[in-house]
Chain A
Amino acid sequence: MHVELTINGEKRSAEVEPRLLLVHLIRDVLRLTGTHIGCDTSHCGACTVLLEGVPVKSCTMFAVQARGKKLMTVEGLEQDGKLHPLQESFMAKHGLQCGYCTPGMLMTSYAFLGKHPSPTDDDIRHAISGNLCRCTGYVNIVKSVEHAAATLRDGGAR
């Protein structure tokens, strides 16, 4: 089937089998490999991307369901060679250890901060409860999101 969608602002299209999962379209067909496959069972959230601005698990959606939709992956965070304040914050606050869960954490946090610019520690923990970090580096992930929220409130880019 023919799939046309907008990903990170760019129109892309592909011929796919209906059973192709969205994450496989993103990684294998469109070659955007920033989005990770973790558990492949809808639990871990490493494959989280934004569908019309809303975080979804791309391993639990068929590519054909994204026809005509706007998607954003971790590659869409950086603009004009400049990292997003969230990405800078994950670096500054050591929000990653092995880094495998990071793309999902970033996408979930990006959508979350768009809706909740001044979250509490607890709000952040709830927001990322669908994203697992098997290094268990949650303390620094929460600190990173808090740091990003502060930066964005102080007028950091976007």
Chain B
Amino acid sequence: MIPAAFEYHSPASLDDATALLAKLGEDAKILSGGQSLIPMMKLRLATPPHVVDISGIAGLAYIREADGVLAIGALTRESELEESELVRTRYPLLHDTCQVIADPIVRNLATVGGNLAHGDPANDHPATMLALGAEVVARGRSGTRRIPIAGFFTGPFSTALGPGEILVEVRVPVPAERSGGAYRKLERKVGDFATAAVAAQLTLRADGACESAGIGLTNVGLTPIKAEKAEAALRGKRLDDKTIAEAARLAAAAAEPAEDLRGSVEYKRDLVRVLATRALRKALERAEGRR
């Protein structure tokens, strides 16, 4: 399959890139890892007249923890996240997630920034970042701004990014002590989008009760979903089976899945309940240091 013709730009700096995007406006599409955009262009679901390839811009691939924040550069490849010792040991939810995105070869090119900026509710990082309470950093001609992830996804394949803005960094708060998270995904085969998936992040108080909870849902709505009622049902409670079951029920109620070849509405909603239960149990185990 051959994409429609386009003009290719490969700016060497962020300033060049934002200037170019400001000039080209809606005619331009940003190319990062290309693992979502290029398949869409081949199917002619996307036919941008201009492609602005930001993958050659130096200094946008990093994973570092400082000042209470894990900062992930937008051009960090999923495979780099997967191999990061820091992520593996301190961010189990993130580590779970990057291992089940597409397949290992796609992950060698796919970027964390692209996974979010694409705005696809079937992508995996959105739910995880919702559970983690992350922020994204957007850079445009007129400067840089931070966008809380809860307000980032505005519709299917739509985000709060302006046409001239580039997502340059993802910022995840460093979890407090007694924190743990997990991502549980059902996919029909490696490389398929999730039938459904649930991201859960928990922080416990010293007495073992829940201090805070984050729950994100993948591919069961027009946007990634933050299951706020389920989160609220956990706060301040001891996380016994009954409390987890109730939160999982509320997470399922927050899902708005559509029937497709992966399953019916009823099936997917119940799947959210099951995956939420498993993700919460695993997150609890990890928060308690039982791994």
Contacts and interface: CB of A to CB of B under 8 A. Distances in A.
Interface centre among B41, B51, B53, B104 (most CB of A within 10 A): B104
Given A42-B35, A42-B102, 4 more contacts: A1-B8, A42-B39, A56-B108, A130-B106
B8 A130 contact: no
Interface string B31-55: 0001100110111000000010101
A45 B79 CA distance: 16
Contacts of B105: 45, 48, 55-57, 108, 130-131
Nearest to B43: A41
Contacts of B42: 21, 40-41
Contacts of A129: 103-104, 190-191
A127 interface: yes
B258 to A, nearest CB: 22
Interface string A42-68: 110100100000111100111011000
A17 interface: yes
A15 B39 CA distance: 23
Interface residues of A, number: 26
A145 B79 CA distance: 21
Interface of B: 1-8, 10, 34-35, 38-39, 41-43, 51, 53, 55, 79, 102-106, 108-109, 190-191
A158 interface: no
A55 B108 contact: yes
Contacts of B34: 60-62, 65
A40 B1 CA distance: 7
A82 interface: no
Given A19-B6, A56-B108, A130-B191, A65 B35 contact: no
A105 to B, nearest CB: 11
| Residue from A42, A45, A55, A62 whose CB has the most chain B CB atoms within 10 Å | A42
6 contacts: A17-B5, A18-B8, A21-B3, A21-B38, A42-B35, A127-B104
